[in-house]
């Protein structure tokens, strides 16, 4: 059996703040949500290459535009961005529907209150859908999905029960897991069932 990590892509259209609302250096200005709390997420795009702000903004607009307006501001750390939403509901939808791949780059997100430096907020885990290949029909069950998810990953978040249907279009099971970014993430592991 082989396990492959795979982040999902989201597709949408939308808008980002106008250029008239930009601060020094052309970066967007953060605003609060009118006393309803700050609606922010901190996002780290997991790539070795430096991501240009315009590219990150376009990717966020493309992915989250149907959820609502999103504003983006870079931080002092490369590939670390503050995403501000027009309300908490929009932010919570983006949070709930993770994992995210922005511009084909896995993006780890954390809730951010706006207090403290973004660089000091630890982003040590990311959620991702994992595919489990090579199980025989009698091994395709919830118990094995739970065993694999809880044994090999930081936390098991969800099971794709629709993938249990062997007659369906998928020949693999899917589980949503949290992966520790401080450890090396394997692109595939082999597990032997006895």
pLDDT tens digits in sequence order for the chain, 194 residues long: 444 444 433 333 233 333 333 333 444 433 333 334 479 999 999 999 999 989 999 999 899 988 888 899 999 999 999 999 989 999 999 998 988 999 989 999 999 998 899 999 999 899 888 999 888 888 889 999 999 999 988 999 999 988 887 665 568 899 999 999 888 777 777 777 66
Alpha-carbon distance of 66 to 132, in angstroms, equals 31
pLDDT value of position 186: 72
Alpha-carbon distance of 108 to 90, in angstroms, equals 17
Handedness of CA 13, 15, 16, 18 (dihedral sign): positive
User: 38 is written with which tokens?
Assistant: 């700050």
Residue 62's Cβ-count burial label (10 Å; 0-12, 13-18, 19+) is: middle
DSSP-derived secondary structure letter, 138: G
Alpha-carbon distance of 148 to 175, in angstroms, equals 9
Half-sphere exposure of 186 (CA within 13 A, CB side): 10
pLDDT value of position 155: 93
User: 162 is written with which tokens?
Assistant: 């629709």
Number of domains in the chain: 2
- Asked if the peptide bond before residue 99 counts as cis, ω within 30 degrees of 0, the response is yes
Asked whether residue 85 is assigned to any structural domain, the reply reads yes
Length of the chain: 194
Of 74, 96, 120, which residue constitutes the final position of a domain?
120
- Does 83 share its domain with 166? no
- Does 130 share its domain with 172? yes
Alpha-carbon distance of 60 to 30, in angstroms, equals 16
- Does 130 share its domain with 106? no
Residues pairing with 128 in the sheet: 177
- Does 133 share its domain with 150? yes
**The pairing of beta strand 172-180 with beta strand 70-74:** unpaired
User: 27 is written with which tokens?
Assistant: 């970066």
Of 79, 103, 120, which residue constitutes the final position of a domain?
120
Range of the domain at 136: 125-190
- Does 35 share its domain with 129? no
pLDDT value of position 134: 86
- Does 109 share its domain with 138? no
- Does 23 share its domain with 112? yes
pLDDT value of position 7: 40
pLDDT value of position 164: 85
User: 171 is written with which tokens?
Assistant: 């020949």
3-class SS letters over 44-96:
EECCCCCCCHHHHHHHHHHHHCCCCCEEEEECCCCCEEEEEECCHHHHHHHHH
- Does 38 share its domain with 89? yes
Asked whether residue 1 is assigned to any structural domain, the reply reads no
């Amino acid at each position: 059996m082989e396990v492959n990590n795979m982040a999902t892509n989201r597709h949408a259209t939308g808008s980002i703040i106008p250029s008239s609302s930009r601060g020094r250096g052309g970066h967007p200005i953060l605003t609060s949500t009118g006393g309803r709390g700050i609606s922010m997420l901190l996002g780290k795009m997991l790539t070795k290459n430096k991501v240009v702000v315009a590219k990150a903004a376009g990717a966020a607009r493309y992915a989250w535009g149907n959820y609502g307006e999103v504003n983006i501001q870079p931080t002092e750390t490369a590939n670390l961005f503050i995403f501000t939403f027009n309300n908490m509901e929009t932010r919570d939808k983006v949070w709930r529907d993770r994992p995210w791949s922005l511009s084909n780059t896995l993006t780890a997100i954390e809730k951010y209150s706006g207090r403290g430096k973004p660089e000091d907020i630890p982003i040590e885990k990311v959620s991702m859908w994992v595919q489990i290949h090579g199980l025989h029909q009698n091994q395709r069950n919830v118990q094995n999905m739970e065993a694999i998810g809880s044994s090999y990953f930081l936390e098991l978040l969800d099971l794709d029960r629709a993938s249990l249907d062997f007659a369906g279009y998928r020949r693999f099971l899917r589980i949503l897991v949290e992966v520790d970014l401080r450890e090396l993430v394997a692109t595939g592991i082999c597990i032997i069932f006895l």
